[in-house]
Structure 1
């Protein structure tokens, strides 16, 4: 089994996925609603993302889709995408890229438990937490 973040957007999934792809690398696959004409989506919205998936070389998987106007939508709240590991340089690069145009909530610094930790909301309204694992004691 796998557990992956699946982000919902209202018309910005493609831009968000391309932004995450530029920041994290990997392979990006995007299907829009034009490939699924029987879903009853308004023709003006068939360009929206029905399913997008970013898969990185490290095995990270981030999925996203647009919610058409015919379906209820609520912006994500009360959750964060968490990215952590031991590669401080890789996580710093991800931080530098993903925070571009976003709002830093907690700077990417050394917390009381060691390592490094930071929180931000990206330019698409998604909350993130990044952490460099503390070295073993």
Structure 2
């Protein structure tokens, strides 16, 4: 058995993968399959993908069905980072064009923490334990 996080986008899957891999050290896209001219999605968009984000398996794709919902902060990727420098680098990349839910600080439950929603609507809790 295996469990992974699944994220459904409507055209931004590859851009989100690039952002996540660039922000979290040691991350990589392991597979990506694109829709062809025959569809059902937009040609070239992501039909299926998997990435390891800080060692955590994340699958995502671009839905060819339009939905009225998107992501909510009640589900987030929680990332333990090794230093405040790693935190700052990841935070700055992920918050650019997004929104701050909790700014970086010592909240008592960790040395340094922030909670943000990136420009694609995915929420991240960045933590230095």
- TM-score for the superposition, normalised by structure 1: 0.76
- Indicate the structure with greater helix content: 1
- Who is 1:75 aligned against? 70
> Greater CA radius of gyration, 1 or 2?
1
- Who is 2:52 aligned against? 55
Q: 1:41 and 2:43 equivalent?
A: no
Give, in whole Å, the separation in 2 of the partners of 1:59 and 1:80.
16
Once the 2 structures are TM-superposed, how far is the Cα of residue 73 of structure 1 from its aligned partner?
5.9
1:92–1:4 Cα change, 3 Å:
farther
Once the 2 structures are TM-superposed, how far is the Cα of residue 72 of structure 1 from its aligned partner?
4.7
CA RMSD across the alignment: 2.4
1:100–1:113 Cα change, 3 Å:
same
Q: 2:34 aligns with which of 32, 35, 42?
A: 32
Once the 2 structures are TM-superposed, how far is the Cα of residue 106 of structure 1 from its aligned partner?
0.7
Give, in whole Å, the separation in 2 of the partners of 1:84 and 1:17.
19
In structure 1, runs of 5+ residues without a counterpart are none
**Poorly superposed stretches of 4+, deviation over 6 Å:** none
